[in-house]
Amino acid sequence: MDPADSPQPGQEKSPPQPALARAPEQLEPATKEPSALLESREKTSLVAIPVDPYVVHCQWEIAHADLEQAKRALGVDDDEYWPILRFCDVTNGDQGVRPSFSVEIQLEAGNWYVRSCSPERSYRADLALKREDGSFTVVASADRVKTPPSAPSSYADEHWLPIRLVPRVGLPIYVREEVSRKLSALYGGQEQGVFESRPQDPLPTDRGEEVHGKMADLPSNPEPPGLLGQPLPVDMRAEVGQLLTQLYAGLHLEPSVLAAGPFTREPFHMRRVGSELTKDSIADLTAWNESSFTYGTSSR
Amino acid sequence: MAKGYLALVLHGHLPFVRHPEHEDFLEENWLYQAITEVYVPLLLIFDSLVADAVDFRLTFSLTPTLVSMLADPLLQSRYLERLDRLIRLLEMETTCTKWQPEFHALAAMYHRQFRSIRSAFVDRYNCNLVAAFHRLQDLGKLEIIASAATHGYLPLLSVNPSAVRFQIQVGIAHYALTFGQEPNGFWLPECGYYPGLDQLLSDQAIRFTILETHGITRARPRPRYGVHAPLRCPSGLAVFGRDPLSSRQVWSATEGYPADCDYREFYRDLVHDLDSDSLKRYVHPGGLRIETGIKYYRITGKTENKQIYVPQQAERKAEAHADHFLRSRTAQVESLASVMDRKPIFVAPYDAELFGHWWYEGPLWLNHLIRKVARDPSSLRLVTLSEYLRDCSALQPAEPPMSSWGRNGFNEIWLNPDNDWIYPRLRHAARVMEELEADHSENDGLTMRALDQAKRELLLAQSSDWAFMIGAQTTAEYANHRTESHLQNFSRLSDQIARRSIDERWLAEIESREGIFPAQVLRPGGAAHQPPSHSASNTH
């Protein structure tokens, strides 16, 4: 692995690029300098690219004529303005957006690392000239730039909930039988399982004695009939969720159990013993993968 | 029946280095070392697995630059010259170490090894390693996937969508020309992804690619299965995520297998002990200390006092580590199978050059691992990524975010104060290229040749290797030179094309020097660039 060699704090600019910083009258004719064809097309532009969730790199070219025009529009001479990069957070739209922050820059640097960004935000970046009284004029604007996220999303598609479809807390066996019967009625007797095929350990419950009593009546295979643990089609899962919610509501369970819900849209019920997987922790595979992951684990 | 799948993915890439103008060019040795230490040993292992009727599957990425170099007659003959010098060096070493039994045994081992590599390269593979990989694909053992033309780092080229599109198109066209079929998969250079890239890949009928772990885990909405099932992007492209645990066990510089004390020490090469005469005779006429790949010591530990390398001990360790890797994946499968409504997949991508070059015993480990998996198919099965997609049910739709497998997981290593000067110039050049193509679509032969060469120069300037080397301060001077010279050549060519005054002699000179990408893969709208008819949908 290559040694970490991140840019030094405070060093937010690169050495100026000679060709870009030159005024048009200083460029030599193309016949004498092969690269002049590329460099002579002076256009004003600002490019913003994310480096990571917190840093955006901005690079600009300012045509001399555009700079002069901006100074005239602002009504300033050379010493009466300073250039800035203005970042507006437009994640939720462009309307009525106020600048999130500004960064003073040196125009001749040609580029800048802006380190004040936040993860998973969309920004509109402008290069502007600012006057002492705070007024400014925009010289160049970049296309919208979006920073990547720094953590997993908390948004879960209800059809792809990242948890098992079994209760987090104890659910009496007779309820599971009831669920199975209702599902069979709903889906034309097809043997669609809700619960996994793996036999469950005795479930923790505040009605422990009732559960054990019921379990004692079951055949040695604790799986109630009809529960095959087959994967549900995507369109069934939301309905199953509602069904379980209704069943729970009728069970007169403790409020804490009801509040938790039959299954939760909060995937964060991790339980870890050391670094080993446990039944609860592997319910959220995304969080488990993130906890095992280190950036840049390659020979590069 | 297996409870889960293991998808080993080896990414083979080297930057295009070819200097016919120099007799003995230092950086060409990257290819020669890789042929001796990586590609031939891997091919021999795969062939032995086929011969032993071991059922295995691997996904293998071979970049266009690597394929071009492997197929180049000049580089093939130079490789043999270099290998022959090393074989003569080993003959001398064997004699010199006659009274030092441990060193003598190792010198003799390397002598045998280098001779058998030579024999395999010439006699078995007819100097054509690409054909050997192709044969393994035809046998159904390897799935070879495409990659970008010159390994351009696509997130940083994305300001010019035409540049990204061209890297992809040329990469795929080169693959089709080489392997006679369209690729299903595409290796993103450095696993560099950005939102919207999926559409560009889907437009070229690519069905899947591979992202770093957090490219999957941070997708939106939150993935149900983490990296243990692929996601479906808005365009229909399937994206697989790297399994972090299997990655750490192999890649980690401190806790990964390659750091084991019994394995061969990378840095103590024989070249550092040779006198000046031997250097000039056997290694480089100019006396440069280029690594020979002949190393006598093992890692030993965090000490300068390295112990002698014991190959038998190292092989036992490689087998033990293969066993450990398999047991770890088996344990993972058992846990995951209880909560997933489908069989989990562990995607384990690595640089191919890890196996044999950075980790000398890597090919042995791979051989042991594949055989162990094949002996017990009840838990885990080796699979290619296309096979997995054929057999799997609906994929969860999600949008992956920007990510890479580089240091700190994003763009930093390719965009920092040392190398950021490259990108404005690449962007300029890409815009100029667009204008040239629009203005000069005539069939005048000389102009078309000049346009083709301009494309080559721009593609070569876009190679992510240069920015990486500059950012990592490894071979930075060469990388700077390459970037500058390609951009200068591009600039001069574009100037001549625009003025309709092309220096044909100079053009012929740089055409013969670069020697990459025949015209048919460079011209848009040609047969090589048409996506096949099955691109109409990208469903799974």
Minimal CA separation from A229 to chain B, in Å:
8
B8 bridge partner residues: B348
In chain B, the residue whose alpha carbon lies closest to the alpha carbon of A231 is: B341
Sign for the CA dihedral angle at A289, A292, A294, A296 comes to: negative
A37 at interface of B, judged by CB pairs closer than 8 A: yes
Inspect the interface and report whether the beta carbons of A155 and B220 lie closer than 8 Å.
Answer: yes
- CA–CA–CA angle B206, B212, B214 (5° rounding): 120
pLDDT-derived band of residue A95, with 50, 70 and 90 as boundaries?
A: confident
Four-CA torsion B483, B488, B493, B498, nearest 10 degrees: 120
Q: Residue B142 is inside which H or E element, if any?
A: strand B142-147
A112 bridge partner residues: A58
What pLDDT is recorded for position A22?
Answer: 28
The CATH H-level (homologous superfamily) assignment of domain B4-71+128-264+313-407 is: Glycoside hydrolase 38, N terminal domain (3.20.110.10)
Write out residues 376-405 of B within 8 Å (CB-CB) of A. 393-394, 396-398, 401-403, 405
- What is the end-to-end Cα distance of chain A in Å, rounded? 6
Q: Which class is domain A18-146?
A: mainly beta
Residue B400 in contact with residue B233, Cβ under 8 Å? yes
B259 at interface of A, judged by CB pairs closer than 8 A: no
What pLDDT is recorded for position A181?
Answer: 59
Closest CA to B151 of B273, B12, B10, B56: B12
- Tally the residues of chain B: 540
Closest CA to A14 of A115, A109, A108, A104: A109
- Map out the domains of chain A as residue ranges: 18-146, 158-267
Q: Residue B506 is inside which H or E element, if any?
A: helix B504-514
In chain B, the residue whose alpha carbon lies closest to the alpha carbon of A147 is: B402
Question: B236 in helix, strand or coil?
Answer: coil
Residues B244, B221: Cα–Cα separation, whole Å:
20
Residue of B228, B408, B474 lying closest to A296 (CB–CB): B408
Inspect the interface and report whether the beta carbons of A14 and B421 lie closer than 8 Å.
Answer: yes
What pLDDT is recorded for position A177?
Answer: 55
| Two tokens, residue B403 | 């990510």
> Is A50 exposed, middle or buried (CB count within 10 Å of its CB: 0-12, 13-18, 19+)?
buried
Number of CB atoms found within 10 A of residue A202's CB: 11
> Is A197 exposed, middle or buried (CB count within 10 Å of its CB: 0-12, 13-18, 19+)?
exposed
Distance (Å) of CA A225 to CA A174, A211, A237, A246, B339: 12, 17, 20, 22, 20
B494 at interface of A, judged by CB pairs closer than 8 A: yes
Q: How many Cα atoms are found within 13 Å in the side-chain-facing hemisphere of B269?
A: 16
Residue B401 in contact with residue B218, Cβ under 8 Å? yes
Residues B399, A173: Cα–Cα separation, whole Å:
39
Inspect the interface and report whether the beta carbons of B424 and A277 lie closer than 8 Å.
Answer: no
In chain A, the residue whose alpha carbon lies closest to the alpha carbon of B334 is: A277
In chain A, the residue whose alpha carbon lies closest to the alpha carbon of B358 is: A299
In chain A, the residue whose alpha carbon lies closest to the alpha carbon of B501 is: A31
Closest CA to B432 of B483, B489, B504: B489
ipTM: 0.92
The DSSP code sequence of A169-231 is S---HHHHHHHHHHHHHHTTT----SS-SSPPPPPP-TTHHHHHHHHHHS-SS-SPTT---PP
- What is the end-to-end Cα distance of chain B in Å, rounded? 23
Q: Residue A104 is inside which H or E element, if any?
A: strand A99-104
Q: What is the mean pLDDT of chain A?
A: 61
pLDDT tens, position by position, for chain B (540 residues)? Answer: 899 999 999 999 999 999 998 888 889 999 999 999 999 999 999 999 999 999 999 999 999 999 999 999 999 999 999 999 999 999 999 999 999 999 999 999 999 999 999 999 999 999 999 999 999 999 999 999 999 999 999 999 999 999 999 999 999 999 999 999 999 999 999 999 999 999 999 999 999 999 999 999 999 999 989 999 999 999 999 999 999 999 989 987 777 899 999 999 999 999 999 988 888 889 988 888 889 999 999 999 888 899 999 999 999 999 999 999 999 999 999 888 877 888 999 999 999 999 999 999 999 999 999 999 999 988 999 999 999 999 887 899 999 999 999 999 999 999 999 999 999 999 999 999 999 988 887 668 999 999 999 999 999 999 999 999 999 888 999 999 999 999 999 999 999 999 999 999 999 999 998 879 999 999 866 544 555 544 333 333
Write out residues 412-431 of B within 8 Å (CB-CB) of A. 412-413, 415-417, 420-421, 423-425, 427-429
The CATH H-level (homologous superfamily) assignment of domain B414-529 is: Families 57/38 glycoside transferase, middle domain (1.20.1430.10)
The DSSP code sequence of B314-325 is HHHHHHHHHHHH
Distance (Å) of CA B123 to CA A30, A253, B66, B69, B107: 53, 77, 21, 19, 24
| Two tokens, residue A220 | 């040695």
Residue B208 in contact with residue B389, Cβ under 8 Å? yes
Sign for the CA dihedral angle at B516, B518, B524, B528 comes to: negative
Residues A63, A41: Cα–Cα separation, whole Å:
9
**Overall average pLDDT of the A269-292 stretch:** 58
Write out residues 227-286 of A within 8 Å (CB-CB) of B. 231-232, 234, 267, 277, 279, 282-283, 285-286
What pLDDT is recorded for position A176?
Answer: 52
Chain A residues in contact with B220 by the CB 8 A cut-off are 149, 153, 155
| Two tokens, residue B295 | 């190393």
- Map out the domains of chain B as residue ranges: 4-71+128-264+313-407, 414-529
pLDDT-derived band of residue A263, with 50, 70 and 90 as boundaries?
A: very low
Give the least confident one: A24-33, A87-96, B407-416. A24-33
Inspect the interface and report whether the beta carbons of B405 and A300 lie closer than 8 Å.
Answer: yes
- CA–CA–CA angle B405, B406, B411 (5° rounding): 110
A172 at interface of B, judged by CB pairs closer than 8 A: no
Write out residues 288-347 of B within 8 Å (CB-CB) of A. 335-336, 338-342
Q: Residue B89 is inside which H or E element, if any?
A: helix B73-96
Radius of gyration of chain B (CA): 24
Residues B355, B360: Cα–Cα separation, whole Å:
6
Residue A124 in contact with residue A94, Cβ under 8 Å? yes
